[in-house]
């Protein structure tokens, strides 16, 4: 199990190095010496906040470590161990800095530490002490990391699970040794073995701590009787939504039936108990209010109050630890900040969106596939309707056409002239003889037709002119007129181009016609 963790951890650390530790803003920066606390008379209860452990899997979903730490300190804890490992203990780095801001007792960072970066990170996150696991480190590495930690005023707790580990710890000049009374393969507690190993740790050189699934007052009192300085309680506190309540029960010797350890993997998340009136844990604390001791609980220093059941019997046989939930952080996420996402739901969500995706839910990367968004890509297609909207524009275009009609409407006069131009140039021609003179104008006009168009505006008057068409017929008469008018105005033919206006003149000439009658 630890080998797997080592691999995951190494990758996790690489990514974290790129992001750097994200300490909680304005975290309390005070330092509380674990050594000083352990040196006080009586046994120090070190309560642990975690999201789960290798034996139970994840017990707590995103929980507020600071709330848990506060309730633990209020109910007898004299130091808090924060499990920040996210692979096996479902913790988060940020829990450490959150707890730092919430309580003013020594804080221990419980994680699988292999690299200097993690020591630096622990200091920034607000730890007062760090665990170094001898089973994971060679003596030289253990010594180097210990020196770096002490240089940063961090107390070093060397965690040992065997005689070999103890040897490494002593060679690395460890001054705090924690006996891990659990099988590193099955994570089952090994109470008797733990006590045997504890007895080998030299009391003169080292402050001694034990963690071994402790869950009863009797166990605590037995350790205190051996001169053990501290005890870590983790698993026993996982069951309770308010862990302080459970701690108060343990320290007051109240027998609590342990929830059966469910099969590995995720357990259903704890639900807050239905609180009736005052908070349950306070009630317990009051009940536990006996003689105050170093533990802050009802446990008299080194004194037993009542007999309690023996620890759970260790189960035999090798266990594979659930790692399915482990997803290596990808580059984009900051492991310091994020909690492992529930890959399945995410993938399911994606799968749900992709009907085609009947393949078994792919690994997390699938979650990255924007494929589910691809259909959305069709949305632009939806713009096509927009294009259709453009179609209305086309309708508008017809409107334009309509406009032309209007224009046409304007032009009809012209059109009448214009269609003459457009629709039936021939006709136009046919008509043109009628307006021969106008025609040359028109012939020249094609170029000028455009020009004419403005003229066409003038031509609007052309409507007037159009009626004049009739008049135009008259132009013959006009011509006569024109003719007559012509000698008068030889230059006129040149003006023929401008004749039309002349046409007007022609109209003007009518009176002239009268003149002839006078003649």
Ligand X SMILES: O=P(O)(O)OC[C@@H](O)[C@@H](O)c1c[nH]c2ccccc12
Task: Using CB under 6 A, list all residues that contact ligand X.
Answer: 48, 53, 81, 83, 85, 89, 110-112, 180, 182, 211-214, 232-236
Answer left, alpha or beta for residue 63, where phi above 0 means left and psi between -120 and 50 means alpha: beta
Nearer to ligand X, 110 or 474 (CB): 110
For 9, counting Cβ atoms within 10 Å of its Cβ (0-12 exposed, 13-18 middle, 19+ buried), the class is buried
Nearer to ligand X, 60 or 505 (CB): 60
Closest separation in Å from C-beta 212 to ligand X: 5
Closest separation in Å from C-beta 275 to ligand X: 26
φ, ψ of residue 271 in degrees (nearest 5): -105, 140
Taking alpha carbons only, the member of 187, 189, 295, 316 closest to residue 250 is: 295
Closest separation in Å from C-beta 102 to ligand X: 19
Nearer to ligand X, 135 or 357 (CB): 135
Closest separation in Å from C-beta 98 to ligand X: 17
For 468, counting Cβ atoms within 10 Å of its Cβ (0-12 exposed, 13-18 middle, 19+ buried), the class is buried
Closest separation in Å from C-beta 213 to ligand X: 4
Which parts of 186-299 fold into alpha helices (H)? 191-198, 217-225, 235-238, 243-251, 280-288
Nearer to ligand X, 236 or 336 (CB): 236
Q: How many residues does the chain have?
A: 519
Residue nearest to ligand X (CB): 234
Nearer to ligand X, 217 or 418 (CB): 217
Residue 164 has, within 13 A of its CA and on its CB side, a CA count of 7
- Residue 161 to residue 319: CA distance in whole angstroms: 17
For 365, counting Cβ atoms within 10 Å of its Cβ (0-12 exposed, 13-18 middle, 19+ buried), the class is exposed
Closest separation in Å from C-beta 265 to ligand X: 18
Question: 3-class SS at 1?
Answer: coil
Taking alpha carbons only, the member of 329, 431, 446, 415 closest to residue 13 is: 329
Closest separation in Å from C-beta 129 to ligand X: 13
Task: For residue 47, list its beta bridge partners.
Answer: 80, 233
- Residue 469 to residue 151: CA distance in whole angstroms: 111
Nearer to ligand X, 103 or 232 (CB): 232
In the numeric block, the tokens 């994840």 are attached to: 58
Structure tokens at 220: 């605590």
Closest separation in Å from C-beta 270 to ligand X: 16
Closest separation in Å from C-beta 278 to ligand X: 28
Closest separation in Å from C-beta 223 to ligand X: 12
From the centroid of its chain, how far is CA 357? 23
Nearer to ligand X, 308 or 469 (CB): 308
Nearer to ligand X, 55 or 471 (CB): 55
Closest separation in Å from C-beta 140 to ligand X: 21
Closest separation in Å from C-beta 232 to ligand X: 5
- Residue 351 to residue 446: CA distance in whole angstroms: 69
Between strands 57-58 and 52-53, the pairing is antiparallel
Taking alpha carbons only, the member of 179, 188, 184 closest to residue 316 is: 188
Nearer to ligand X, 134 or 212 (CB): 212
Residue 29 has, within 13 A of its CA and on its CB side, a CA count of 4
From the centroid of its chain, how far is CA 233? 34
Nearer to ligand X, 137 or 214 (CB): 214
Nearer to ligand X, 130 or 298 (CB): 130
Nearer to ligand X, 241 or 351 (CB): 241
**Do the Cβ atoms of 234 and 159 come closer than 8 Å?**
no
């Amino acid at each position: 199990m630890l080998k797997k963790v080592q691999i995951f951890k190494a990758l996790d650390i690489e990514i974290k190095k790129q992001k750097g530790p994200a300490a909680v803003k304005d975290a309390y920066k005070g330092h509380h010496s674990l050594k000083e606390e352990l040196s006080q008379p009586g046994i120090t209860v070190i309560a642990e906040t975690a999201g789960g452990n290798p034996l139970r899997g994840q017990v707590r979903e995103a929980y507020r470590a600071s709330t848990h730490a506060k309730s633990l300190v209020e109910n007898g804890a004299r130091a808090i161990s924060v499990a920040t490992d996210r692979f096996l203990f479902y913790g988060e780095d940020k829990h450490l800095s959150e707890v730092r801001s919430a309580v003013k007792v020594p804080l221990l960072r419980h994680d699988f530490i292999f690299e200097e970066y993690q020591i630096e990170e622990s200091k920034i996150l607000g730890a007062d002490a760090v665990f170094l696991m001898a089973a994971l480190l060679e003596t030289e590495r253990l010594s180097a990391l210990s020196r770096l930690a002490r240089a940063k005023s961090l107390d070093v707790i060397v965690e040992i699970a065997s005689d070999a580990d103890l040897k490494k710890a002593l060679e690395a000049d460890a001054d705090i040794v924690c006996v891990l009374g659990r099988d590193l393969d099955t994570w089952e507690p090994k109470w008797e073995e733990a006590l045997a190993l504890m007895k080998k740790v030299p009391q003169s050189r080292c402050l001694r701590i034990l963690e071994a699934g402790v869950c009863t007052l009797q166990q605590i009192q037995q350790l205190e009787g051996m001169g053990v300085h501290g005890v870590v309680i983790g698993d026993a506190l996982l069951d309770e939504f308010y862990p302080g309540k459970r701690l108060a029960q343990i320290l007051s010797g109240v027998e609590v039936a342990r929830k059966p350890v469910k099969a590995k993997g995720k357990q259903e998340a704890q639900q807050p108990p239905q609180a009736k009136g005052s908070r349950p844990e306070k009630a317990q604390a009051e009940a536990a209010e006996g003689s105050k001791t170093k533990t802050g609980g009802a446990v008299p220093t080194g004194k037993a109050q009542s007999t309690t059941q023996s620890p759970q019997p260790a189960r035999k046989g090798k266990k594979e630890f659930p790692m399915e939930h482990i997803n290596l952080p990808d580059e984009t996420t900051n492991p310091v900040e994020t909690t492992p996402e529930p890959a399945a739901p995410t993938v399911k969500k994606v799968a749900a969106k992709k009907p085609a995706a009947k393949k078994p839910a792919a690994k997390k990367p699938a979650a990255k596939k924007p494929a589910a968004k691809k259909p959305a890509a069709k949305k632009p297609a939806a713009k096509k309707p927009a294009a259709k909207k453009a179609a209305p524009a086309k309708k508008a275009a017809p409107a334009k056409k309509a406009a032309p009609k209007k224009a046409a409407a304007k032009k009809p006069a012209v059109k009448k002239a214009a269609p003459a131009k457009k629709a039936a140039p021939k006709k136009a021609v046919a008509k043109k003889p009628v307006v021969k003179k106008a025609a040359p104008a028109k012939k020249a006009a094609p170029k000028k037709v455009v020009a004419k168009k403005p003229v066409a505006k003038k031509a609007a008057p052309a409507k007037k002119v159009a009626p004049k068409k009739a008049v135009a017929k008259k132009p013959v008469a006009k011509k006569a007129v024109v003719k007559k008018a012509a000698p008068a105005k030889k230059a006129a033919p040149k003006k023929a181009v401008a004749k039309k206006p002349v046409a007007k003149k022609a109209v003007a000439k009518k009176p002239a016609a009268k003149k002839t009658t006078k003649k």
